[in-house]
Amino acid sequence: MPTFHKIRFTTAEHVAVALSVSREAKLLCKKVVSFFHLLARSCDTGVRRLGVTQELLSLVTGLAHYLKLIIRICLQGSLRLEKEKDIDEGLNFLLTNINGLDDRLAHESSVDQAAEAAVYCRKKADTCPVCNEPVEDKCFKQADRIIHMQCLRCHNCGVDLSDKLPHARWAPGTRIILCSNCAAHRLVDSQGGFSEVTRLAQYVHLLKCAHARLLATLRSSGALPHTSGTLRSKYGLSTC
């Protein structure tokens, strides 16, 4: 862990660069998803006890490595902030934020888990409706759809809508994206409400999808009890 006296910065830009964790967050996300796949696979093959294999060891080592990197970057960033701005609240602010996770966990445990799982299990939860490919990075959101940055174009005139979000429309009847001009011209029913999803928010979303699918797989194989007797039939989780 770097010590405080070794940290030297001159501009706020350096602080911003130092706090960039997108690469580590992406790799951590991939490791967690791979870990979930390994668990699901061991369940598929009927192996109830996950043996200590080379693959598992390498995954756990990778998880620990990227977690440590992210913790280090956050601690370094808060210390740099204190040094740079000559304030003494940087570290406290970080720790208070981390403590706030308890409240979020308590809130999440109070929501309807089965309904949540059903939302994250559906293919459209991480698939772009325009190209039908998975969305793994910064993207756009409209209602419960996620759309690649490069796919946010008018289906009719081809205009790029990625920097004109208020003009983007989703036509539910034909399941296409239109610009507001073309939607008005075609007189089709259309919806707005597009917003940007940050890279980090999308990684969190992908983890929730992977987690929900893992639980569904474990439940359908009998490795985990169903939280509700009607869970599978109600939400079709076994087909996820």
Measured from the Cβ of residue 186, the count of other Cβ atoms closer than 10 Å reads: 14
The secondary structure of residue 48, as a DSSP letter, is -
176 versus 210: smaller Cβ distance to Zn ion? 176
Q: At what angle do helices 22-44 and 54-85 cross, to 10 degrees?
A: 160
Interface residues with Zn ion (CB under 5 A)?
Answer: 128, 130-131, 148, 151, 154, 156-157, 179, 182
Q: 17 phi and psi, to 5 degrees?
A: -65, -40
> Smallest distance from the beta carbon of 27 to Zn ion, in angstroms?
23
151 Cβ partners below 8 Å, 6+ apart? 128, 130, 131, 177
7 versus 130: smaller Cβ distance to Zn ion? 130
117 versus 154: smaller Cβ distance to Zn ion? 154
188 versus 224: smaller Cβ distance to Zn ion? 188
> Smallest distance from the beta carbon of 184 to Zn ion, in angstroms?
10
Three-state DSSP class for residue 211: helix
Residue 1: exposure state from Cβ atoms within 10 A (0-12, 13-18, ≥19): exposed
> Smallest distance from the beta carbon of 135 to Zn ion, in angstroms?
7
> Smallest distance from the beta carbon of 127 to Zn ion, in angstroms?
8
